Amino acid sequence: MILSLTDAKLDYPKTTAFQHFSLTVEDGEMVSIIGRSGCGKTSLLYTIAGLLPLSGGTMQRAFGNEGVALMFQQDRLLPWKRIIDNVLLGLSKEKTEEAATFLRSMGLGTVMHHYPHELSGGMRQRVALARALIRKPNILLLDEPLASLDEQQREMLQNDIKKYVRDQGITLLLVTHSIQEAVFMGSRIVMMTNKGVSYELKNQLHDDPNLRTRDEFFSMQKTLRLHLEATR
Amino acid sequence: MKYLRGMGVVLLLWYVAAFLISSPVIPFPHSVFIYTLDQFVPQEMHLHLLYSLYRILLGLFIALFFAIPTGMIAGRVPALDRLISPVLYLLYPLPKIAFLPVFMVLLGIGDLSKIILIAIIIYFPASVTIRDGVKEIPFEFLQLAVAYHLSRKQVLKDIIWPAILPRIFSSLRITLGISLSVLFISETYAASYGLGYSIMNYWVMAQYTGMYAAIMLLSLLGLLLYIIVDWAERLCVHPRANM
């Protein structure tokens, strides 16, 4: 077990983001959390990252704040820093060589001395991914990081994230409103509303390289869609 | 190049005025140039220029030295801002120059009172501009800093400082003009060097060509400072830092 939430609840001054949320994540698992907008997905992720404190329930983490890397919906690259320095944000300069090698391995070698505005949206998110992975986190939290990309870039980055996360043995927790993305990325798909988990699905074909073209890929999406409709 | 065009326009207007009025009160530009070139060293114009430059630079430096932390604290700590901002707003519109006699009594009639006067006048607009710059730093970047465990020092160096640097430069540009006119007034009393002193001296002696030479040097000093500010900004502010 790397993460466990029991009857978790988060209150904002005027509303409740989510409540009665329980989830246990095993080491190396890739969990997709799906739900309608406003169901508290992002708040949940921020709570796990340590950015927001729980208002009720308990959370156990087998990692410290240093063991979490959060990738936001927007790339949040600092416009005044070169790509390599954005990746090294908060890290010591001694890691420069390691970061450069890592960027090259991610196909960003030619742009590492560029500024963020010189890159396309897909490249920028790729840099944000590098910034998260260079920290060698125990758990990677993704807050719909691909929502603003076009389909081609999105699929490419989905493949890459899956590959890097698996290669490095990182646990993945992805929050998304895209059913397709949830099924492709997750070995387990958890559907949430602001009253807790409403449905769960195991993706047996998660490791299948041809997942996108398998019939089950579509049937799982259909099942999830029906359940999502039911939460309305 | 753009400065040369600007000078061309000013010169043209000057010639027209001199021609139309044709009185020694407005001498022709070329006679002022010749006078400046001839008398630059004999009349110690270089010393006047250097004294003025020294006072204005020191005044700017002192103002920023205090305005940067003030703006940062007001921008970052809402509780303190509720105290700082009203104080700034109350004191900002005061005609600081009216307190000149007070400064003279407290700080002496030498350089110090002149420099402090310039510093105080620049301090207020600079503080307010820097405060706004800090407040406008996107929340997303500050959240990023928390999520990526940046230390206080790193937040200051990697996020706040680059975000307010363009504000510091724009506050410099705004206040340069004011500080030059204040410089002039502060140099008209108890000074033996400085362009303000020089202008008044020529005025009293009804030496209009010399007066215009000193006025022209004051204007060129302003231009030079603007060019330096622009150049320094290009050097240290990334063009995309203005979000």
Per-residue pLDDT reduced to its tens digit, A33-52: 998 888 888 999 999 988 89
Closest partner residue to A79 (CB to CB) among B144, B150, B243 is B243
Tell me, what's the pLDDT at B166? Answer: 87
Looking at every residue in chain A, the average pLDDT score rounds to: 89
Domain extent listing, chain A: 3-63+138-230, 78-136
Tell me, what's the pLDDT at A73? Answer: 87
- CA pair distance B80, B54, nearest whole angstrom: 34
Tell me, what's the pLDDT at B243? Answer: 47
Tell me the pLDDT tens digit for each residue of A82-107.
Answer: 999 999 998 888 889 999 998 998 88
B194 alpha-carbon distance from chain centroid: 16
What are the structural domains of chain B?
A: 2-238 (1.10.3720.10)
CB B97: neighbour CB atoms within 10 A? 14
Distances (CA, A) of B137 to A92, A164, B236: 24, 32, 18
Tell me, what's the pLDDT at B38? Answer: 85
Q: Do A115 and B147 touch (CB under 8 A)?
A: no
Residue A154 distance to chain B (closest CA, Å): 22
Q: Do B149 and A65 touch (CB under 8 A)?
A: yes
Tell me, what's the pLDDT at B239? Answer: 66
Residue spans of alpha helices (H) in A175-214: 179-185
Tell me the pLDDT tens digit for each residue of A164-174.
Answer: 888 888 999 99
Tell me the pLDDT tens digit for each residue of A53-70.
Answer: 999 999 998 888 888 999
User: What's the CATH number for A3-63+138-230?
Assistant: 3.40.50.300
Tell me the pLDDT tens digit for each residue of B63-92.
Answer: 999 999 999 999 989 999 999 999 999 998
* Burial bucket for residue B30 (CB in 10 Å: 0-12, 13-18, 19+): exposed
| Most B-contacting residue of A71, A78, A82, A93 (CB-CB within 10 A), to test interface | A78
Residue A201 distance to chain B (closest CA, Å): 30
Tell me, what's the pLDDT at B39? Answer: 82
**Sites in chain B below the pLDDT cut of 70:** 239-243
Residues of chain B neighbouring A74 (CB-CB closer than 8 A): 140
Tell me, what's the pLDDT at A142? Answer: 93
This complex has an ipTM of: 0.84
Residues ≥6 apart with Cβ < 8 Å to A218: none
Looking at every residue in chain B, the average pLDDT score rounds to: 88
Asked if residue A160 lies in contact with residue A196, where contact means CB atoms within 8 angstroms, the answer is no
Residues of chain A neighbouring B141 (CB-CB closer than 8 A): 76, 78
Ramachandran angles phi, psi of B151, nearest 5°: -75, 165
- CA pair distance B240, A118, nearest whole angstrom: 11
- CA pair distance A19, A7, nearest whole angstrom: 7
Q: For A193-221, what is the mean pLDDT? A: 85
Tell me, what's the pLDDT at A148? Answer: 80
**Strands lying side by side in the sheet with A56-61:** A16-25, A3-11, A56-61
Our CA dihedral for A131, A133, A134, A136, rounded to 10 degrees, sits at: 140
Asked if residue B56 lies in contact with residue B225, where contact means CB atoms within 8 angstroms, the answer is yes
Q: Which two tokens stand for residue A39?
A: 């169901």
Q: For A9-38, what is the mean pLDDT? A: 90
